[in-house]
Every structure is written in C-alpha cells, then in structure tokens.
Amino acid sequence: MDDGLEQSWWANMPHELLREVLLRIESSEAKWPPRRSVVACAGVCRTWRLIVMEIVKPPQLSSNITFPISLKQPGPREHLLQCFIRRNSGTQTYYLFISLSSALADDGKFLLAARKFRRPTCTDYIISLDADDMSRESSAHIGKLRSNFLGTKFTIYDSQLPHARAKMTKSCSTKLVNPKQVSPKVPTGNYPVAHISYELNVLGSRGPRRMHCVIDTIPASAIEPEWVAPSQTSYSASNIGTSFPFFQTNSTHLENSISGEQNNKKDDVLVLRNKAARWHEQMQCWCLNFHGRVTIASVKNFQLAALTVNGHAEPQEDNVILQFGKVGKDLFTMDYRYPISAFQAFAICLSSFATTVACE
C-alpha cells in the first residue's frame, strides 16, 4: 500500500472522532512505559500532532513528562515529581530517570544523561537527551553545568534561549553547527540560566554543606499561586525529531494567564537555599526529613527551598522545591517541583557530585 495514501487516510479521519480517540489514549496511558503510545500518536502525521498539542498538558498541570520539551518546563505545583540518578564512577557519567513506582529503585524511564569533562581551569558537565552521545557537538546536547577551579561556584547554561522574553547576555558564546540542524529563528549557544554557590569551609568545622542557587530566568514571584513561571515551548534542533517526533506542547493556556503587568514588571529572581539540618543527639549526626526518600547519610544530601521576603528559607516541609539524597553506592533520588524544570534540577544535583572538600 502506498505510504502517502495510507497517511492521508489517517489524516482525513473525522476531527471529532480523532480527537475523542486521542483523548482516551492520553487519559488511559498516564504513566510510562504505556505512555509511549501518546508519543507514537504525535508522530503519525501533522493533523494528529496538532490535536495532541491541544490535549497534552505541560508537567506543571499534568505531573507527566511526555515529550523531551517537558524536561525544560516547570514541574508540578502540588507535589514533588520523583526521579533518581544513577552514577557510573568509572566513566564519570550520570543518568536521570523518572520513577515508575514509589520504590526507591526501579527500572525507571530515561530522561537525561551527563558526562564530566575536566579542563585546566574548570569542569564541565555536558547534558544530553541521548544516553550514548554526550558530546558538545551532538544534536542531543541541551545544556551544561560549569564549575570554577575550586568547585565552589557553578553556572548552568542552556543551549538555547530559555523562553521568548529572555535576553542574551555577554557571557553567552555560540557554537558552529550545521544550519540544516537548527531553526534560524532560535540561535544555539550558551545561555546562563542559573548560578550555584557553595560556601567555603575555611574553619574546617564538620557539618552539612551550605549552598544557594539563583535562577536568573525565574522571577521570585513565580512561586505565588497567581503567577506562572516562564518556560520553553519547543526545541530548535529539528534533526532530533527523527527519534523524538514531537517537541512542542500547547502552553498557550499558561502564557495567556500571564498578564501584561507581569510581563513588564521587573521582579527579583528566584533564590533557593538549602534547608538547615538539625543535629540528632542519639544518632550523633545531622538530619533532614526526606520522608523516606533518602536512606544513606551523605554530605551530598540536600533540600532546597525558596527564600522568603525576609531572606530565610521556608521551614515547612511542603515548600521544598528540590531534594537530593543517597540511597545506594551509585544511586541517588532527585525529587523536584514547580517552578524549576527537570533540566535545572538535574544540573543543580550534578553540582553536588562536583563539590570539593573545601566546602565540607
């Protein structure tokens, strides 16, 4: 049968019937691995893709990561999205998975990968959509984490503008790419989106690390109920579409909720600080309540919360935006929520692997 004719039959299905079918598929296949059916539907033809764009909601509203672009969009508002990181110390690579169950360790659904590259004056962690290709030249490259020489300060770079209203800074550097691989409307380069700092332990006192993270692309007001954090809606590398057929979500319902007043307002950026651990006299160690998601004590473990107006992190447990902790020799849980994305959360957690003893 002719492929073009067969595709036209699928494309010419009655719109109401097609939408009803796709709605049922989307609602019934809510979790991975069955959710791959939604991705397959988006790759049938343009008509199907446009309908799926209307149906599939971003993680903030659906708590689902369906397409690669979901990794650059804010997580759910109401709860932490449970993920985990597997470390390969031999190859200095790190793999992010979304949990498929409430267990601390399962097969998971692969999301992102990163590889550590040491340089004379800094260290880079190249972040990729491809678990087997984590080079800077790869079309699956979506960003990186760079540390200073001491491993106390880090910058998260996005490979493209984080959102439509973002501006390119002087610290951005572009890379040479095949013009056929990138949309001419979206330049590819390094766009700093966040900065992470660890305090130096100059006195050598034992205790948890102290860290804070400044998210330059998210206003501090984004954590308020009536505000919405900006996010990306599409990737620029079209050739990735051969393996990931769908790179956009219909976020107009989010963008339309942002009033003109919010767009024009110059707000302070979002600042996250690690929650202070408490000393447990009986256990003789510093403790944080991870609600069972962390089982092994480590200086790498942390919880980040947004700073309040008075400059202090909120003490309530439900205000944790990102938590990271050890559950095995090379296994770590990573749970995040709105207003940060999986990409930002992964990069922040990578900084914990890179921090030197000067911060401990």
Residue-by-residue pLDDT tens, the chain, 360 positions: 445 544 566 667 888 888 898 889 888 888 888 888 899 988 888 888 889 988 998 999 888 899 999 999 999 998 999 999 999 999 999 999 999 887 777 788 999 999 999 988 899 999 999 999 988 888 899 999 999 988 889 999 998 877 655 554 544 444 444 433 433 344 456 899 999 999 876 445 556 778 889 999 999 988 888 788 887 776 654 434 434 434 444 443 344 433 333 443 445 899 999 888 787 777 767 788 888 899 888 888 999 999 765 555 554 455 899 999 999 999 999 999 999 999 999 999 999 988 665 455
| Number of neighbouring beta carbons within 10 Å of residue 105 | 14
Contacts (Cβ under 8 Å, ≥6 apart) of 39: 66, 67, 244, 245, 246
Helix axes 46-55 and 15-28, enclosed angle (nearest 10): 50
Using CA atoms, how far apart are residues 335 and 337, in angstroms rounded to an integer? Answer: 7
Residue 206's pLDDT is: 59
- Structure-block tokens of residue 55: 């149906």
Cis peptide before 33 (omega within 30 of 0): yes
Residue 174's pLDDT is: 43
pTM of this structure: 0.81
Question: DSSP class of residue 268?
Answer: P
Using CA atoms, how far apart are residues 158 and 194, in angstroms rounded to an integer? Answer: 9
- Structure-block tokens of residue 182: 């990138």
| Number of neighbouring beta carbons within 10 Å of residue 40 | 14
Q: Of all helices (H) and strands (E), which one includes residue 9?
A: helix 3-11
Residue 166's pLDDT is: 55
- Give SS3 for 262: helix
- Which segments within 89-140 are labelled E, that is strand? 93-98, 109-118, 123-128
Q: Which residues of 243-255 are buried (b: 16+ CB within 10 A; e: fewer)?
A: ebebbbbbbeebe
127, 160 Cβ separation under 8 angstroms: no
Q: What stretches of 31-174 show up as alpha helix (H) in DSSP? A: 36-42, 46-55, 59-62
Using CA atoms, how far apart are residues 40 and 34, in angstroms rounded to an integer? Answer: 11
72, 162 Cβ separation under 8 angstroms: yes
- Structure-block tokens of residue 218: 């998210």
Beta bridge partners of 32: none
Centroid of chain to Cα 174: 22
Residue 262's pLDDT is: 42
Residue 345's pLDDT is: 97
248: nearest Cα among 63, 72, 12 = 72
Q: What share of the chain is helix, strand, coil (3-state, %, to 5)?
A: 25, 30, 50
Residue 73's pLDDT is: 93
